[in-house]
Amino acid sequence: MLHSGPVAALAHAEHSATRRFLFAAEPPPARTPRTPTGTLTLHGVTLHNLRDLDAAFPLGVFTAVTGVSGSGKSTLVTRVLAEAVQDRLGAAAARPDTDEPGDDHDTGPAVRARLTATTGLDTVDRLVRVDQKPIGRTPRSNLATYTGLFDAVRKVFAATEEARARGYTAGRFSFNVPAGRCGTCQGEGFTAVELLFLPGTYAPCADCHGARYNPETLQITHRGRTIADVLGLTVDDAAEFLADVPAAARSLRTLKDVGLGYLRLGQPATELSGGEAQRIKLAAELQRARRGHTLYLLDEPTTGLHPADTEVLLRQLHGLVDAGNTVVVVEHDMGVVAGADHVIDLGPGGGAEGGRIVAAGTPAEVAAAPGSRTARYLARYGAHRDRS
C-alpha cells in the first residue's frame, strides 16, 4: 500500500498515481475533434426500449455513447450496431477472435429483423469487441499464450543446442502437450485438494511444485533460464531477456504500452482482473498492426479502472483511431466523453422513459444541449471550451 490515512496527506505522497487525479487543478485541455471519414447509419432500430430509432455513427473517429442507466446504450451499441456489422461481414467475421465461444451476444435473426436498413457499412472490414471478460477459462491460458508471445518463446527453447540434440520441438514446451508437461498436474502447476466439509481448494503440485513441466523439459535452458523461469518473468524483465527475439520483443512492447509491464508472463488467465484482461486484448490487437478499417466496440471500458489506467487505455484507443479505425465506447466517465470526437446521448431517462437520442454532436455541442441530463456533467469537464 502506498498511502493510507487522511486524503489531505495524499497530496504529499509523491509516487501515488492517485494523487494527480484527486488534486488535479485543471480539466484536461480541450482538443479539436477529428473529422469523420464517413458515416454508418442504422435506420429503424427497434429493440428493448429503442423504438424506430435512427442513429448515425461517424467513421474514423472516437465516439462516446452516453445516457443514464437503462437508456439503451448497450442495446444500441453491443446488440444492434454489432449485429448489423456482423451481418454485413458475414459468418467468417461473426465471431471476433477476441471473443470466447459461448458468449451471450444475441445473434439471432430477431435482432436483425428489427433494423430496417444500414448505410455506410461498406468501408468497415472488421469488427472487434474489447471487453473485460476473461481471456481464458483455464489456468493453462495466460497472457503469453493469448498474445502469441509464447509461440516465440517456445521456438527459442526448441532452437537450443540441447533441445535439438534431444529432438525436442516447440510442442515439447507447451503445457497443453503431454510430452513436456508435468504428468501429475497436467501442466496446471497445482492440484485440487478435496476437503471433507469444505469446498475444493488448490495446492501446488507435489511433483513440479508449480513449474508445470516435467524434469526433462526443465533440463533445457536458454541463457541459464528454464521455460518455467521465463514464465515467471514480468513483462518488463522478459522484454530485456528476449530483446533479440523480434516476435517476442514486439509483443512485449505492446504489453508495456498498455501498462502491463508488471504482469508475469505465466500468470493464469483465471487470476487476472477484468481491466487487465481487457488491456491484454487491446495489446493483442495493437500488435497485429493490420491495415484496413476496424470498428472497435467497448461497453463501459473504464469501469473499475484507476484513472491512471484509464489514461493508458484511452491513449491506445485514440491511437487506433489515428491509425484509421473507428472506436465506439459506451461510457459514463465524463473525462473520457469530453475527449471524444463525437457524442451520442441517449435518454432522457431509463427504460420506457429512454431509448431516444437526446443530443448528438461534438462534446461541446452536447454539453450545451437543452434536455440532455449528460450536458451539465460534460460541461464541467471543459468540453464547452472545445474549439470546433
Ligand X SMILES: Nc1ncnc2c1ncn2[C@@H]1O[C@H](COP(=O)(O)OP(=O)(O)OP(=O)(O)O)[C@@H](O)[C@H]1O
Contacting residue, 33, 36, 38, 70, with ligand X by CB under 6 A:
70
**What residues between 139 and 158 interact with ligand X by CB under 6 A?**
none
Between 70 and 301, name the residue whose CB sits nearer to ligand X: 70
Contact 324, 42 (CB under 8 A): no
3-state helix, strand, coil in the chain (%, to 5): 35, 20, 45
CB of 78 to Mg ion, least distance (A): 8
User: Which of the choices Zn ion, Mg ion, ligand X, none does residue 69 contact, using the CB cut-off of 5 to 8 A by kind?
Assistant: ligand X
Contact 265, 237 (CB under 8 A): no
The reply to whether 66 sits near ligand X by the rule CB under 6 A is no
* Site track 314-333 with Mg ion (rule: CB under 5 A), x = hit: --------------------
What does the alpha-carbon distance between residue 241 and residue 211 come to, in Å, rounded to a whole number? 19
Between 75 and 316, name the residue whose CB sits nearer to Mg ion: 75
| Closest among 142, 194, 141, 212 to 202, alpha carbons compared | 194
The reply to whether 185 sits near Zn ion by the rule CB under 5 A is yes
N-terminal to C-terminal alpha carbon distance within the chain: 43
Q: In this structure, what DSSP letter does residue 28 have?
A: P
Binding range to ligand X, per CB under 6 A, among 67-75, 205-213, 279-287, 373-381: 67-75
User: Which of the choices Zn ion, Mg ion, ligand X, none does residue 67 contact, using the CB cut-off of 5 to 8 A by kind?
Assistant: ligand X
Q: How many CB atoms neighbour CB 7 within 10 A?
A: 11
Cα 253 to Cα 147, 195, 243: the distances in Å are 12, 43, 10
The reply to whether 205 sits near Zn ion by the rule CB under 5 A is yes
Binding range to ligand X, per CB under 6 A, among 9-17, 66-74, 182-190, 211-219: 66-74
The reply to whether 227 sits near Zn ion by the rule CB under 5 A is no
What does the alpha-carbon distance between residue 298 and residue 77 come to, in Å, rounded to a whole number? 8
Contact 128, 98 (CB under 8 A): yes
Contacting residue, 16, 18, 41, 74, with Mg ion by CB under 5 A:
74
* Strands, E assignment, the chain: 38-47, 50-59, 62-66, 117-119, 126-129, 190-193, 201-204, 294-299, 326-330, 342-347, 356-361
The reply to whether 302 sits near ligand X by the rule CB under 6 A is no
CB of 378 to ligand X, least distance (A): 16
The reply to whether 270 sits near Mg ion by the rule CB under 5 A is no
CB of 140 to Zn ion, least distance (A): 12
Residue type, 93: A
Contacting residue, 49, 147, 226, 294, with ligand X by CB under 6 A:
49
Total of residues contacting ligand X (CB under 6 A): 12
- Positions touching Mg ion (CB under 5 A) are 74
- Positions touching Zn ion (CB under 5 A) are 182, 184-185, 205, 207-208
